[in-house]
Amino acid sequence: GSGGNRNPDGMGDGQAVDGDLGLVLQNPGERLIGKHVRPRVGMLVAISSQGLERRRESGRCDPSRGSVGSIVRVNENWTADVEWHATGQVRQGYSCGCVARGGKTRAFHLITVPPDAVLPPYA
């Protein structure tokens, strides 16, 4: 017998972590919308490291193209809709501390961008 072959890439069936321990991808400098600041229409935002990681995991593209956007709507369900400046696209439903089924998970997919931040040029 040669023993079970473990897949080194397998993440296993990790249980969802309650509270802030789930935010391992958070950069210390990020000001997370819904956690540090309340979302407001007109606020300059970018996708957080957590949000980008979620997009990589699910194979979705990054509609922000690495640039900033403006919140165009704040929704009742802890999400916000954002118009991305680089593409002019409005994307809906960015998580701002939403409580998922089961009441455990919180996701913060947007960060505030200070007005004096160095921004990439518009496409």
What are the chain's domains?
Answer: 25-112 (2.30.30)
Residue-wise pLDDT tens digits, 67-121: 899 999 999 888 999 999 989 999 999 999 866 666 666 789 999 998 777 655 5
Match 């007109």 to its residue by tokens: 42
Cα–Cα distance, 89 to 87 (Å, whole number): 5
Task: Give the tens place of pLDDT for each residue, 9-41.
Answer: 444 444 444 444 444 455 678 899 998 899 999
Can you give the length of the chain in residues? 123
What distance in Å separates the CA atoms of residue 110 and residue 92, rounded to the nearest whole number? Answer: 12
Rounded distance, CA 105 to CA 52, Å? Answer: 17
Highest mean pLDDT among 1-5, 25-29, 56-60: 56-60
Q: What is the DSSP letter of 121?
A: P
Of residues 50 and 101, more confidently modeled: 50
